Amino acid sequence: MDFYLGLLQIMGVHTLLGLSAYVVLLTGQVSLAQAGFMAIGAYVAAMLTVLSGWPLIAALIAGALVAGFMACLVGFPALRVHGLMLVVATLAFTEIVRLFFFNFDYQIARGSIRVGPLGGEGFRQIRYFPENGWTTLHVAIFIWSVVALVMAALWWMDRSRAGAVLRAVGEDEIAAQSCGINLTAVKVSAMTAGGAIAGLAGGIYAHYTTHIEQTNFTIMVATFAIAYPILGGLSSIFGTVAAVVFIQGFLIEGLRFLGDWRNLLFGALIVLVMNIRPSGLLDARTMATLRRLFGRREG
């Protein structure tokens, strides 16, 4: 049981990571900066609980705010460029953040040991959950409450005018601009929201793995952040959840019984899914079908 709850925790954090990229992808921008925002959220939140003794929720919110603020700052210059240029610019950002933490030491003495981030050695003993007696079940429920909150906010946004505006920019920037939409404002807002969600994911990540170091926030993590919404489909937030279940639940944990084939199939199945469902696991048509089915059952 403990194992499934642990897996649920991981899925929750990866869902947040995927959703952070989803918001940005809606505006048609591919951002590899999510791992950088995640790192910022992770370090800020962990330093607040471990070094300053803040309660967890306050620390997580602070981590998300700092990450969102950084996303806003980076968004203004970065979003001047498009397509592959933006991919590489955001990749550079993620690397800069990672290398910053690689060179970042801030330790204070607590009793006989020193705690805090120590460059390449990492930041150990972020044990808020076990120290406060949170069981795996508590942590899983907590994480999914956060995920549900974020999803509800995004779902509501998607249905409101804001969602329409984001998608309009994603579909055709020039058309959107001629309708009087302020492109920069929309894109930077999306980037800021995405950064804050990624920061939240990072804060939780730091606390359930209890140890963070620069190698946890690489380009590969950023790649998976965009992989979830792309694999899942951009027509709804549930696509991202489906993709997280597919990758974390099926490809990583579910295929364990295949032994060495698991690792080979990992990439191969991603290629296969993109070939048979280029618009994602839950594309617009599937969503429409689901909605119809759902509606019929209700009626």
Which residue, 68 or 239, has its beta carbon nearer to other proteins? 239
First to last CA, the chain: 37
What is the nearest approach in angstroms of other proteins to the Cβ of residue 150?
Answer: 20
Closest C-alpha to 24, from 221, 193, 222: 193
What is the nearest approach in angstroms of other proteins to the Cβ of residue 52?
Answer: 19
CB within 8 Å of 265: residues ≥ 6 apart: 251, 255, 258
What is the nearest approach in angstroms of other proteins to the Cβ of residue 157?
Answer: 21
Which residue, 1 or 161, has its beta carbon nearer to other proteins? 1
Which residue, 153 or 253, has its beta carbon nearer to other proteins? 253
Which residue, 59 or 228, has its beta carbon nearer to other proteins? 228
C-alpha dist (Å) from residue 18 to 61, 179, 198, 289: 18, 30, 8, 24
C-alpha dist (Å) from residue 3 to 6, 7, 15, 241, 248: 5, 6, 18, 19, 13
What is the nearest approach in angstroms of other proteins to the Cβ of residue 131?
Answer: 6
C-alpha dist (Å) from residue 15 to 25, 177, 232: 15, 31, 11
CB 46 within 8 A of CB 212: yes
What is the nearest approach in angstroms of other proteins to the Cβ of residue 143?
Answer: 13
Residue with tokens 């048509």: 285
Which residue, 22 or 165, has its beta carbon nearer to other proteins? 22
Which residue, 156 or 294, has its beta carbon nearer to other proteins? 294
Which residue, 2 or 156, has its beta carbon nearer to other proteins? 2
What is the nearest approach in angstroms of other proteins to the Cβ of residue 199?
Answer: 18
Between CA 242 and CA 136 the distance in angstroms is 23
What is the nearest approach in angstroms of other proteins to the Cβ of residue 188?
Answer: 14
